[in-house]
Amino acid sequence: MGSICQQLSLFWLTIFYMLVLHTHKKGGMFVEGTGVNWGTRASHLLPPDITVRLLKDNGFNKVKLFEAEPYVLQALGRSGIEVMLGIPNDYLASLAGSVQAAEAWVMQNVSSYISKQGVDIRYVAVGNEPFLKTYKGMFQNITFPAMKNIQAALIKAGLGRQVKVTVPANADVYESSNGLPSNGDFRSDIRDLMISIVRFLQESGYPLTINIYPFLSLNSDPNFPKEYAFFTPGSSAPIVDGALTYSNVFDANYDTLISALEKNGFGSVEVIVGEIGWPTDGDKEATVENARRFNQGLLDRVSKNKGTPRRSTPPDIYFFSLLDEDVKSILPGNFERHWGIFYYDGSIKYDLLMPDGQKLVSAKGVRYLEKQWCVLSPTANIADPEIVNSVNYACSYADCTSLGYGSSCNMLDVRSNISYAFNQYYQYESQQKGSCGFSNLSVITKTDPSAGKCRFEIMIDVGKHDLTANVSSSAGGATLFHRGSANLFQGGAIWRTLATVVFGLLLWIK
């Protein structure tokens, strides 16, 4: 009998070993806690099935979505990827006002995908940074009722234990009067509300989700010590807080929240970092080199299972973000469209060593439009008054943020500057006939005009990919974007970019 048991044990051990090797070879040996945000605000969306494969190939076993988009959820079905499913802020009022509305939302967007599609939904994120200061209290009275109604709906659907409720908050929900983490507390105007929400989370066994952006700390304060934004030991003067020492802003920011929780009796509440990352364009500090440095430092912490001085257990983190998104609001800055670890098409921006020891791999099976670009005609006179109007028109639709100060295409000469704007519009319009018109000032070329770090894009041919929904409707929806980037403000940001481009053109023309 003992011999049979030993043989069976050896058999199952062998099977387990073979499975581990097989999984590792396929690039799917996931490290617990490695997640990423998947946004879809792109004019030419990387097909969801290709995106899911990109996630798996690079070891991301958790994904955070900003809303329930059918074609995305269907692609995630039976993928083995855990999902945090977001509810946009503009849904909060209806969900807060009616438990029936919450039940309908859960039935349509959670229950059906779990039961019919095999989507592994673990969390419902109610709202997205709803207490951001710039919202001026717009969602303050409806977020908590919406959370409770969603919880009730999940319980009624039999998913009360399987799916947890959370709320992604911006780091501005807490503060420290003297700048030390140990003095952390919730923001005075929402302190009572935050205590009620955190008590609800603790009693229910749910996590609090927080978004932390060291890049924004650097971007918003010209006196911020740059090295303090990164994770390099000894690279900046540390902050000493009693017996604890802080060498980077992430640890200090996170522990300010932990202090706020402990101070109010919620020291055991789980915290998830819902968004953290570094952009690669649109600002002088938004560079590929800085993004690689920051994200690699964060990944190294993940692989070492490293926590913070105040909480040794590391949080689950969701990198922001997987892909660039060229139609996002740029109210916070031109960098908003360049947070991706990958370019919009799933190609690699920079090397990263993942916690499983593998390097990043690009998306597979992507099909592109024809290799041709729209550029300023060699015979065109840059003093032609129609040029400014044409650039103005092109950049009012397409993404010209890479032309801004400190960005990857800022070094172009005037003709290349104009050509970049023309090509962005041409690609945005999927190279349709007539989209390279511009008052006969432009021509189509087969020679790639890219120069230095400036990429003249060729877009994905979405017509050759089988999408299960109208992607363009998603890109232009009314959802409020993360960190308060509301659609209604987008025009003003675009015009600021246009003003920079046009002003530069006028200087050249003069």
Q: Which two tokens stand for residue 486?
A: 């509301």
User: Residue 356 to residues 60, 76, 199, 209: CA-CA distances in angstroms?
Assistant: 10, 22, 36, 25
Burial of 90 (0-12, 13-18, 19+ CB in 10 A): middle
Catalytic positions, written as ranges: 129, 275
Alpha helices, DSSP H, located in 233-361: 249-263, 288-303
DSSP string, 373-399: EEEE-TT--TT-HHHHHHHHHHHHHS-
Bridging pattern class, strands 271-276 and 208-211: parallel
Using CB atoms within 10 Å of the CB of residue 263, give its burial: 0 to 12 exposed, 13 to 18 middle, 19+ buried: middle
Query: 167's torsion region: left (phi>0), alpha (psi -120 to 50) or beta?
Result: beta
- Backbone conformation region of residue 340, classed left if phi is above 0, alpha if psi is from -120 to 50, else beta: beta
Structure tokens at 349: 């921006």
| DSSP H/E element including 510 | none
> Hey, how many other C-beta atoms are within 10 angstroms of the C-beta on 444?
14
Query: 224, 288 in Cβ contact below 8 A?
Result: no
Q: Rounded to an integer, what distance in angstroms lies between the CA atom of residue 90 and that of residue 423? A: 34
